[in-house]
Amino acid sequence: MKQLNHLGIILDGNGRWAQKLNKDRTFGHKQGMNKIFDTIKWCQAENIAYVTLFCFSTENWNRPVKEVDYLMKFPGQIFSDKELKKYIANGIRIIWVGRRTKVPKKTRQALENAESKTEQQTKTIVNLALDYGSGEELVSAVTKICQGILQQKFELNDINQDLIYNNLYTCASPPIDFLIRTGGEQRLSNFMLLQLGYAELYFTKIYWPDFDAIALKTAIADYYARDRRFGRIEV
Ligand code: IPE
Ligand code: MG
């Protein structure tokens, strides 16, 4: 049995959930994003110390402008100073993992404000993946490593797995133990490809707005029933 330290979630199915109710897709995003705080609380109740949430991918820019605009507004709403007090009171630190240069200024400010207001918190680290994709993350990591070499902070021979891992956006977190994807698709969609190297994968048909504490418990029970060998064999 291996403690579930780091849970990753691909929050999928918002649009289909709304369409099923004959509502606009953005209604699904509203429901989905408004439950982020509750989700973190459920994770705390399960003794999970690291949570990584995939909210917007580097490919999601290809959606209609109206939908992208809507999604760019949610950080400002869920991380108002009033809401952030709840995060602080519960020991939650927010870290934005993703490209910082492309999102609108207001989105960036909201995310960076959430990061700075919660940076002293240590109970739960929440990596919020927004404009995140593994390919882009590797570009960013390689760029940082090359800069380090050019600035003579280290040399070519110093490149090893730890150095690469420490230059990923998620460097404050251990690798992901368990990945839940809601919404029924069975793919990784460019999410944390290195960090998921030995993760257990779990796919559920439940749309993200319907995913609740019971569904999380069911998924976690599945995790603890698995045998994680990390390439070793039973002895
Ligand atoms: C997940 O819901 C949220 C984001 C990717 C932003 P979707 O918007 O992908 O919902 P479906 O998959 O179309 O139902
Ligand atoms: Mg989807």
**Which of the ligands is closest to the CA of residue 210?**
1
Q: Whose CA is nearest to atom 3 of ligand 1?
A: 12
* Residue extents of the structural domains in the chain: 6-131+175-225, 133-168
**Ligand 1 contact, 5 CB (< 6 A):** no
* 118 contacts: CB under 8 Å, gap ≥ 6: 84, 87, 88, 92, 93, 94
CATH value of 6-131+175-225 in 3.10.28.10, 3.40.1180.10, 3.10.450.50, 3.30.360.10: 3.40.1180.10
Known binding-site positions for Mg(2+):
12, 200
Beta bridge partners of 94: 126
Please return the burial class of 47, using the count of CB atoms within 10 Å of its CB with bins 0-12, 13-18 and 19+. exposed
pLDDT at position 235 is 64
Distance CA 189, CA 15 (A): 16
- Of all residues in the chain, the percent with pLDDT exceeding 90 is 96
Residue 117 has pLDDT above 80, yes or no: yes
**Ligand 1 contact, 11 CB (< 6 A):** yes
Tokens 């949570």 — which residue?
Answer: 51
Mean pLDDT of the chain: 97
Q: What is the mean pLDDT of residues 225-233?
A: 91
**Ligand 1 contact, 71 CB (< 6 A):** yes
User: Phi and psi of 93, rounded to 5°?
Assistant: -105, 130
Q: What is the mean pLDDT of residues 172-186?
A: 98
